[in-house]
Structure 1
Amino acid sequence: MNITLTILGMAVITFLVKALIFILGDRVAFSGNLKKALEFVPVTVLTAIIVPMILSPHGKELELSWRNPQLVAATVAALLCAVTRHQLTTIIVGLTVFFSWQYMLS
C-alpha cells in the first residue's frame, strides 16, 4: 500500500509541476543567470544516474577494474566522443564494446 501511495504522490507532484509551467506560461520571467543554470540540469541528472551504474554495477562496492564492462565501455565511449564529437558513432561503439567485453568475460 505504501508503494502505491508513493507512486501516486510522485505522479501528482510531477503533474502539478508540469501543469504550472503550462498554466503560468509567459507570465513568469527567469533571470539570465537562472536560465543559464537551468541549462545544466539535464546533464547533471543524467550524470547522477549513469555514474553510479558505471562505477558500481552490482550496487555494492566500486568496481574499478578491467573486469567491469560498464567502466571499460564508458571509458572507450568518452574518449571516442571527445575525439569525434559524433553521438551515434559513440553510442554504437560503446554498446559494441560493452557487449563484446561482457561476452569475453563470461
Structure 2
Amino acid sequence: MHTHAHIALDNDYVLYLSLAMIAATFIIRFAVIGMAGRFNMSERFKKTLRFVPVTVLPAIIAVEILGKGSNFAFNLENPKLLAAIVCTMISLRFGLIWVVIGGLISLILFQTYLDPMMHFFHHLMC
C-alpha cells in the first residue's frame, strides 16, 4: 500500500516553486556577500575556500555514479561508470558541450545495450 502523497505539477506550481528557489538562493548568496566585507579573512583561509567546489562536486558525482551501501558498483557492469569513463576521455580532447553530449549518448547506450552485450560475451566464454 502506497502512502506517499502525489503533487500535481501544473505550470503554476512549477513557476512559483522556481521563483521561491530563485529568491532563496539570492537571499543566501546576498547575505554571504554582504557579510564578506565585515570581517577579515586570512590569505590562507581564502585559498582554502577556493578548494571547496573542487572537492565537493566530485564527491557528489562519485556517489551518483558508484552508488552507496548495497548499491555500490565499482565494476564494468555499471553503465554510469562506463559513461563517466567516456566523459573523461572526451574531456581530454574536446570542450564541455561535447562532454555533456557524449556522456548523455554513452549513458543511454550503456543502459540500453550493456546488459545484452554482457550476456552475449558471457555466453561466448562459457
Label 1:41 to 1:103 Cα distance change in 2 as closer, same or farther (>3 A): same
Label 1:96 to 1:19 Cα distance change in 2 as closer, same or farther (>3 A): same
Structure 2 match to 1:76 = 86
| Secondary structure in 1 matching 2:61 | helix
Give the alignment's TM-score, normalised by structure 2: 0.59
Tell me how far 1:24 sits from its aligned partner: 2.4
Label 1:19 to 1:89 Cα distance change in 2 as closer, same or farther (>3 A): closer
| Secondary structure in 1 matching 2:89 | helix
Q: Is 2:50 the partner of 1:55?
A: no
Structure 2 match to 1:8 = none
Label 1:42 to 1:80 Cα distance change in 2 as closer, same or farther (>3 A): same
Q: 1:42 aligns with which of 50, 53, 56?
A: 53
List per-residue Cα deviations over 1:3-56 (Å, max 9, x = no partner).
xxxxxxxxxxx9x97565244241222222211111111121111111122122
Q: Quick one: distance in 2 between partners of 1:73 and 1:67?
A: 11
Contiguous gaps of at least 5 residues in structure 1: 1-13
Contiguous gaps of at least 5 residues in structure 2: 1-24, 117-126
The two structures, once aligned, show a CA RMSD in angstroms of 2.7
Give the alignment's TM-score, normalised by structure 1: 0.68
